[in-house]
Amino acid sequence: MNWTDSIQGYQDYLKFERGLSDNTLAAYSRDLRLLERSCDLGPLKVGPKQVQHFLEELHASGTNPRSQGRILSALRGFFKWLQEEELRDDDPVILFENPKVGRKLPTVLSVDEVEAILEAIPMNEANATRDRAIIELLYACGLRVSEVCTLKRSLLRLKEGYIIVTGKGNKQRLVPVHKSAIKFVELYLEYERPHLPCKPQHTDTVFLSNRGAALSRQSVFLKLKHFSAAAGIRKNISPHTLRHSFATHLMEGGADLRIVQQLLGHESITTTEIYTHISAQKMSEEIASFHPLNKKR
């Protein structure tokens, strides 16, 4: 079995048996192709020596520890699948551990900064209501940018105050929507979307581009960059920053960690726990700034 056939077989397994998204499949494929280019052996012949050489190449090239760990995890899943398919009886990556990674806290916007971005959207320009609705949803619901881009009209329950979001692994969850976000989504659906072209495969897609297709993640990223610059914000932000800000602001307001986990669609509570660290860091900064002992010094 060559690399192309084995990677395709693994992708089919991940897609049809584990229900992983196309983006995840593409990432796994890229990681496996890196190993293919690193050695001159087929997937059934690769041994620990070749894996070690590959990992050394990654380190020498400056690949950060987090990316190295992700690639190694992709290799583990791939070779475990080959074993389950009885194509191999050994695992060449079993002795390798992920490099240690320091936990980096994500960039978070303040409430005032979020409001400044929203106010920086020029509402007299074309597609302004669409753009405002998108930014509102990213923050008000803590959605991933991919979830906004693939949001379906048939899954909107705006009258009831929530939407049904399709997240990673095609898992769906109910997310309440703030009334401000509801207002702009409804305005967009009533006044802007009917005037946009719509390709047949996107009739149920909420947010359309000027070409009638679903908006791309890159497009949303660039729009947010533009609006944040107009608001005078110098932080390096992305759509995911609004998701981090949503979760952090909920935690600071006293929300239960389990509720935040459900709203974000995190499979593991440990993923959500990072927002407790952010809140603790902010409390430390507040104490450093306002405690009378620090003021005296």
Percent of the chain with pLDDT over 70: 91
**DSSP secondary structure letters along 248-294:** HHHHHTT--HHHHHHHHT-SSHHHHTHHHHHHHHHHHHHHHHH-HHH
pLDDT, tens digit (0-9, with 9 covering 90-100), for 124-173: 999 999 999 999 999 999 999 999 999 999 999 999 999 999 998 888 99
Structure-token pair, residue 164: 């049904």
Q: Quick one: pLDDT at residue 279? A: 55
The mean pLDDT of 33-53, rounded to a whole number, is: 93
Active site annotation includes 275: yes
- Residue 277 scores a pLDDT above 80: no
Q: What are the angstrom distances between the C-alpha of 282 and each of 114, 194, 220, 285?
A: 17, 44, 28, 5
User: What is the domain partition of the chain in residue ranges?
Assistant: 3-84, 111-287
Single out the catalytic residue among 144, 193, 223, 244: 144
Residue 18: pLDDT band by 50, 70, 90 thresholds? confident
**Residue 295: its pLDDT value, please?**
53
Question: Are 269 and 258 a contacting pair, CB within 8 Å?
Answer: yes
> In the annotation, is 266 catalytic?
yes
Is position 202 annotated as part of the catalytic site? Answer: no
pTM: 0.64
Q: Is 211 a catalytic residue?
A: no
53 belongs to the catalytic site = no
Catalytic residue list contains 104: no
**pLDDT tens column, 196-217:** 999 999 999 999 999 999 999 9
Q: Up-side HSE of residue 177: CA atoms within 13 Å toward CB?
A: 29
Domain at 3-84, CATH from 3.30.390, 1.10.150, 1.10.3470, 3.80.10: 1.10.150
For 14-24, b/e burial (b = at least 16 CB within 10 A) is: beeeeebbeeb
Q: How far is it, in rounded angstroms, from Cα 199 to Cα 155?
A: 19
DSSP state of 192: I
77-134 per-position pLDDT tens digit: 999 999 999 999 999 999 888 887 666 667 889 999 999 999 999 999 999 999 999 9
Residue type, 23: N
Rounded Cα gap, residues 80 and 90, in angstroms: 9
Q: How confident is the model at residue 282 (pLDDT cuts 50, 70, 90)?
A: low
Architecture of domain 111-287: Orthogonal Bundle (1.10)
